[in-house]
Amino acid sequence: MKVLCIGDIMGEPGRRAVARMVPRLVAKHRIDVVIGNGENVAGGFGITPELAEELFGMGLAAITTGNHAWDKKEILDYFPRERRLLRPANYPEGVPGHGSVVIQTAAGEELGVLQLMGRAYMPALDCPFQVAKRELARMRKRVSAVIVDMHAEATSEKMAMGHYLDGEATAVVGTHTHVQTADEQILPRGTAYLTDIGMTGPLHGVIGIKKDLAIEKFLTGMPRRFEVASGPTVFSAVLLDVDARIGKALSIERIRILD
Ligand code: FE2
């Protein structure tokens, strides 16, 4: 099973890049499942039901989020209704939505997707490590292959999660920093790993935001209303080849296309 995981899709430029690149990549690599992080699709902050539907319409089988999951209030009622839209599984009990989903490919194979969020330089949540073990054990009673989106700031926390789940998760891939790392690897017990997939969105901004606004905020220390940058885009993703029967990753390949 070929799985394409797209990194944080940033605003309209990011959505347009997904619309352009996904059909090409699916045809070229015979991809079975596409998933992506959609917490920045609504003008850089959050996601709306309409934009989630737009991404599903572009072929995404599941959408992960993170700390920006709740930025748009209209998404709150949508989360419990749409199983394919995930928020981190380590939010406390009672928070709307789901942290994992099992999706089916056109060929009838199943793939689990589990979303977690780190705690280093991030909002305080339940322990992602304990939640990951518990959720993976539960999911793997039904499905062998599970991809984990570890939405986190700190490289070390993501790498620790990769090794903690090595041999249990099919892949642990990171999102949130918007900058792709070059450390893709198969860990010793068979889990595919990449610290951060990187952003799909404007290339010449500060992690997708208009550079002048971001620079001004750093210069003054004052709050600034951010807007998504424009211009050339970068499409960032990772391609996994997965043996869905045994849940093992066969290969991991980084994708970064300037467009
Ligand atoms: Fe984030």
What is d(CA 172, CA 4) in angstroms, rounded to the nearest whole number?
13
Instruction: For the full predicted model, state whether its pTM sits above 0.75.
Output: yes
Q: How far is the CA of 20 from the centre of ligand 1 (A)?
A: 23
Which residue range forms the structural domain that includes residue 94?
Answer: 2-258
Evaluate whether 63 touches 36 at the Cβ level (below 8 Å): yes
Q: What count of other Cβ atoms lies within 10 Å of the Cβ of residue 26? A: 16
Q: How far is the CA of 72 from the centre of ligand 1 (A)?
A: 14
Tokens of 149: 């989106």
Let me know how long the chain is.
259
Q: How far is the CA of 155 from the centre of ligand 1 (A)?
A: 14
Q: How far is the CA of 174 from the centre of ligand 1 (A)?
A: 10
Q: Which active-site residues does the annotation give?
A: 68
Q: What is the count of structural domains for the chain?
A: 1
Q: How far is the CA of 108 from the centre of ligand 1 (A)?
A: 32
Evaluate whether 152 touches 120 at the Cβ level (below 8 Å): yes
169: domain CATH number? 3.60.21.10
Q: Look-up: residue for tokens 């990187």? A: 198
Q: How far is the CA of 122 from the centre of ligand 1 (A)?
A: 9
From first to last of the 259 residues of the chain, give the pLDDT tens digit. Answer: 999 999 999 999 999 999 999 999 999 999 999 999 999 999 999 999 999 999 999 999 999 999 999 999 999 999 999 999 999 999 999 999 999 999 999 899 999 999 999 999 999 999 999 999 999 999 999 999 999 999 999 999 999 999 999 999 999 999 999 999 999 999 999 999 999 999 999 999 999 999 999 999 999 999 889 999 999 999 999 999 999 999 999 999 999 999 8
Evaluate whether 258 touches 123 at the Cβ level (below 8 Å): no
